[in-house]
Amino acid sequence: MARRNQRYLIEDYLGRRARIYGGERAILVGILPPGFAKEERETFEELRSLAYTAGVLVVGYLIQHRRRPDPATFIGKGKAEELRDLAAALGADTALFNDELSADQARTLEEITGLKIVDRTQLILDIFAQRAGTKEAELAVELAQLEYLLPRLRGWGKALTNPGGGIGTMGPGETKMEIERRKVKRRIQVVRQALAEADRIREVRRKRRTSAPIPQVAIVGYTNSGKSTLFRRLTGEAVLVEDRLFATLDTKVRKIALDEGKFVLVSDTVGFIRKLPHQLIPAFRATMEAAREADLLLNVLDASSPHVLEHFRAVKRILAEEVFTPDEPRPPVLHVLNKIDLVQDARQEAILEELKLEAGCYAEISARLGWGIDELRNAMAEALKGHWVDLKALIPYEKSDLLATLGSLGKLEVLGDRDGGVLVRLVLPSTELPRLRRIPGIVLMEA
């Protein structure tokens, strides 16, 4: 707890608008256009999951039906007063908004309601801050929080102002605000420098990994779709699996076999989400690199979710807009319909049929139960089949020390002695074939 206290942002002690630390009692607040009453529950489904992940107790809901947000209070003054009264009745101390608020809107809402006002962006930033497991992840999230905070410091002038300032003068409050703004800017520079060094170290590791001839597979997808469960099922790795959003924030890489001699490096990455805060893009740095360098993407989708089509399109949009540039070559994508065991009604089956038509290449699995995993491995091997060669080679006796090296790269089957050497059957990464051809005395032939 002491460590967390040391990491409080300046915003926390300059104004009432503080970070989420868990234990708050919150009312969820959102806006819908008139006539969308039946979508009210769905509006809060993901926000409620975010609140649960952050350790917040949701005690109530409030929806305002209007075509566009109110510039001053987002939900309108009358609705803000209704929020104040509802919070008093339910014992709430926080309001979580399903959209991003301006600093002025948040300040005005606080003045009317007396509540801590937290918008969707800030909530996601705080979840990342709570769950970052490595120093680099912590720095990336801190940078996102600071950059989100900086333009909002002006919104907390009331908390910064002291008596004594006048028209045409630089009062004590303004001076203090500028001091705090400079503190934030200095810290941003320090964090950026630390992240630049982390980038350099990761680049060295990346080059070492990409120099290996093994194909790379990146598991991507919407948050809480079962990516880590699939990673554990494929690799046998004891990774954290939770029914929470953003359970995984740090990329993990493990080597697995799809078939005899056909090895791949599999990466487990952080999940995507709709309305992904732009400030968090640097925190997705490792995920983006894993996707860019991959020879195959596994897009894991929760087949049991009624919003699976929206999740599919959100991931597709994030990959197109945030991960890859328009002219950048992209790896093939195999869409993995996970939690298929939980699909039990005709409505969800109809949604999945529409998704299958839109997705094209897909596999159906239950990572939790192990259903369809062998079929998924076969589909992965088929998508990557151009990355391996199957051939026979005659290795001269004087070069028999190569056998151990070739066996470590894939599959090696000794067929017997022939013509002063050892005849073997090989399954190797295709990138090894040119090197093998350059070795004098080795005779290659079709399998």
Looking at residue 211, its pLDDT comes to 55
The CATH superfamily label for domain 2-132 reads GTPase HflX, N-terminal domain (3.40.50.11060)
Is the domain defined by 212-383 classed in CATH 3.40.50.300?
yes
Return the domain boundaries, the chain: 2-132, 212-383, 387-446
Looking at residue 332, its pLDDT comes to 94
Asked if 2-132 and 212-383 have one fold, the answer is yes
Joined together, the tokens standing for residue 331 give 């790896």
Contacts 24+ apart (CB under 8 A), 402-410: 402/439, 402/442, 409/213, 410/261, 410/262, 410/263
**Across the chain, what does the average pLDDT equal?**
82
Looking at residue 125, its pLDDT comes to 83
Looking at residue 9, its pLDDT comes to 43
The listed CATH number (1.25.40, 3.30.70, 1.10.101, 1.10.150) that belongs to domain 387-446? 3.30.70
H helices within 219-372, ranges in order? Answer: 227-235, 285-293, 308-318, 346-359
For residue range 238-295, what is the model confidence (pLDDT) as tens digits? 554 454 555 455 567 888 999 888 999 998 887 787 777 766 676 666 667 788 889 9
Is residue 263 packed enough to be buried (19+ CB in 10 Å), middle (13-18) or exposed (0-12)?
buried
Looking at residue 297, its pLDDT comes to 96
Contacts 24+ apart (CB under 8 A), 367-373: 367/226, 367/229, 367/230, 367/232, 367/233, 367/300, 367/338, 367/339, 368/226, 368/229, 368/339, 368/341, 369/341, 370/233, 371/340, 371/341, 372/340, 373/233, 373/234
Provide block-wise average pLDDT over 10 residues at a time, the chain (447 residues). Answer: 40 50 90 71 79 92 92 96 97 93 88 91 83 74 81 52 40 62 86 82 62 82 89 77 51 84 87 73 70 92 93 90 84 96 93 93 95 96 92 92 87 91 92 89 87
Give helix 308-318 / helix 346-359 axis angle, nearest 10°.
20
